[in-house]
Amino acid sequence: MSDQLLFTERQNERSRIARILHDHFLQQCQLILCTLQALAARATLSAADRQELDSLARDTDEAMTLGRQLILELRQAGDGVTLAQRLDLLGGALCARARIRFTCTLQPALALRHDAWADDIYILLAEALRNAVRHARAGTISVTSVQTGDGLAVTVADDGIGIPAAILNGSPPSLHFGLTGMRERAQLLGARLEIASHAGGGTSVTLRFDGAPPAVKE
């Protein structure tokens, strides 16, 4: 199968998933949210029950926000939107809502990529960004890249509370942070995922390539 045909098939699949998310997932979430809000407004509810329903409504609203972000990401892929632009958009939106300062500084050779290789890097970095916003309690989150000899390293860093050692060491809760999937994706990219974290000292998630990035395939 040619690279162009493979790329086209990937784009068609992304478009199909985006339509499913929009037409089914978001609509069902909206229905659930309206039902929860209606139940919470009933005067006969106890304070504890109302608090639980309010919590479920917030979780549903968060799921809808994530769904909209995923739809946008799926539709951006292959539209000529560069890796830096996609990260700026996602990081800016996530951090603005959480009142976190966000910066993204990538070297041009990486920042301007908008091919399938950049798509895979974006997916991994997007997961790292979401984890930082959701769990780190950070004041600042950044995405940076540096040349390392013949290789390349791109890092998502925060100044938050750090990741518990048990999670970094692979205990079951690590699945909640998506670390297992991130490591697997890094391996598929021919890279290493390096995570440095200390209690109260922030966290850095680095995707490290020992060699030069693959050439852009038009």
Of the segments 21-35, 61-75, 98-112, which one has the largest average pLDDT value? 98-112
Question: What is the residue extent of each domain of the chain?
Answer: 1-79, 86-218
* Half-sphere exposure in the Cβ direction for 177 (13 Å, CA): 26
pLDDT (tens digit, 9 = 90+) per residue, 35-88? Answer: 888 888 887 888 888 888 888 988 888 888 878 777 777 766 656 778 898 899
The DSSP element (H or E) to which 196 belongs, if any, is strand 192-197
CATH fold of 86-218, please? Answer: Heat Shock Protein 90 (3.30.565)
